[in-house]
A = this chain, B = another copy of it.
Amino acid sequence: MQNLRIPGPTPCPPEVLAAMGRQMINHRGSEFAEIIKDVTVKMKHVFQTKNELMLLTGSGTAGLEAAVVNMLSPGDTVLGVAIGVFGERFAKIAQTFGANVIPLNFEHGKAADPALMKEALDANPQIKAVLVTHNETSTGVTNDLAAISKIVKGAGKLLLVDCISSLGSLNVPVDELGIDVAISGSQKGWMVPPGMAMISVSETGWQAYAQAKMPRFYWDLGKAKAGLEKGQTPWTPNVSVVFAFQVALEMMLKEGINNIFTRHARIGKFTREGVKSLGLTLLADEKFASNTVTSVVADRGLDAKKLNKIMKEEFDIVLAGGQGPLEGKIFRIGHLGMVNEKDIQAVFDGLKVALPKAGFVK
């Protein structure tokens, strides 16, 4: 089997793939209602939330758009915290729909500095909401959500968090952190194929929803909430991914969420240690290095694109490249969802052979 080591889509367990192959049923019938209710309850457990949690048929980016258009009005001022491509995307969506975005960008590889966020909030009291990425997939950096939440909620602002590549893998206690809108995506730590975004909304979030004036129809979370009360979705959902979620969540709860978090932390460390022992340099500030994806600098003559090509062709190991300004400058190893040390050891074994072929001089 191919060793798919990109930060999503992630490899799916055979049981989940079998669920993907289930025959269609009526998405407005009682059987599907039971499934969607079961999935929602179990997913709330992983989100560690009592908030409403809704499934949207779309990608992770769709979840970001849904967060924006359901919480904000044109002209609202928001703080757009970005430590990479996905933070910039979140801010760009808000801007596209008419928000006045105050950008707060950090160097790629660094985490957001909560002190600078506090300064920005103090300097701009008109800020209504803060948009921030928990785990920045493009740089492999995890922000300190506890510190961020303390500042944002302390200032009484709405906190919208892109948890797409963290929820289900890293510890994100949504209620404890006071996250008003938390977004994830099926193809990450959940071990399910892409096609659904999941989004939780706090009571404060629903109050913002009631005031928000950005145009929304397909992503209208009020409609999603009303649908869910009948065990339905307002529009035909991605039935197969809901089937897959039911199986994957059962597996996740069996492993136990704390065990999942521990496993990801252990494998994250294992990956970073192994990468460094090969003489490679981590892009991420190690204090904030992500336990779901590791970004590696293409230095000492390394041609990152050539490396990924060799890894694919010679070892059937698929690594990710850099995105945006980091294209060609880094390569990335995904280690979220269904992953163990053996999968990562295979990457190291391949890298040992491939690195010199791709120009790397230790």
Give me the interface of A with B, judged by CB distance under 8 Å. Answer: 1-2, 4, 6, 8-12, 17-18, 20-29, 57-62, 65, 92-93, 96-98, 185, 187, 193-195, 214-218, 234-241, 312, 318, 320
Q: Which of B9, B28, B193, B218 contacts A58 (CB 8 A)?
A: B218
Contacts of A18 in B (CB 8 A): 21
Please determine whether A59 and B235 come into contact, CB atoms closer than 8 angstroms: yes
Q: Which of B8, B12, B97 contacts A217 (CB 8 A)?
A: B97
Complex CA gap A11/B25 in Å reads: 8
Please determine whether B23 and A2 come into contact, CB atoms closer than 8 angstroms: yes
Closest-by-CB residue of B relative to A9 is B24
Contacts of A318 in B (CB 8 A): 25-26, 29
State the Cβ distance, A71 to closest chain B Cβ, in Å: 15
Complex CA gap A22/B194 in Å reads: 13
Asked, given contacts A62-B58, A237-B59, whether A6 binds B26 with beta carbons under 8 Å apart, the answer is yes
Closest-by-CB residue of B relative to A16 is B21
Contacts of A195 in B (CB 8 A): 57, 195, 238-241
The listed residue with most B CB atoms (<10 A of its CB), out of A22, A93, A185, A215, is A215
Asked, given contacts A24-B12, A193-B24, whether A217 binds B96 with beta carbons under 8 Å apart, the answer is yes
Please determine whether B193 and A238 come into contact, CB atoms closer than 8 angstroms: yes
State the Cβ distance, A336 to closest chain B Cβ, in Å: 13
Please determine whether B218 and A62 come into contact, CB atoms closer than 8 angstroms: yes
Complex CA gap A239/B4 in Å reads: 14
Contacts of A57 in B (CB 8 A): 57-59, 62, 194-195
Q: Which of B9, B23, B193, B241 contacts A17 (CB 8 A)?
A: B23
Complex CA gap A24/B2 in Å reads: 9
Please determine whether A4 and B17 come into contact, CB atoms closer than 8 angstroms: no
Q: Which of B1, B23, B93 contacts A11 (CB 8 A)?
A: B23
State the Cβ distance, A315 to closest chain B Cβ, in Å: 14
Closest-by-CB residue of B relative to A30 is B312
Complex CA gap A17/B65 in Å reads: 30
Closest-by-CB residue of B relative to A19 is B21
Closest-by-CB residue of B relative to A215 is B97
Please determine whether B21 and A2 come into contact, CB atoms closer than 8 angstroms: no
Please determine whether A17 and B26 come into contact, CB atoms closer than 8 angstroms: no
Please determine whether B60 and A235 come into contact, CB atoms closer than 8 angstroms: yes
Contacts of A4 in B (CB 8 A): 23-26
State the Cβ distance, A304 to closest chain B Cβ, in Å: 14
Closest-by-CB residue of B relative to A62 is B218
Please determine whether A20 and B240 come into contact, CB atoms closer than 8 angstroms: yes
Contacts of A21 in B (CB 8 A): 17-18, 20-21
24 contacts between A and B (CB under 8 A): A4-B23, A9-B26, A9-B27, A9-B239, A11-B23, A12-B23, A17-B21, A20-B21, A24-B193, A26-B318, A27-B194, A58-B218, A59-B218, A59-B235, A60-B236, A61-B234, A61-B235, A61-B236, A62-B218, A65-B217, A98-B215, A193-B240, A194-B237, A238-B241
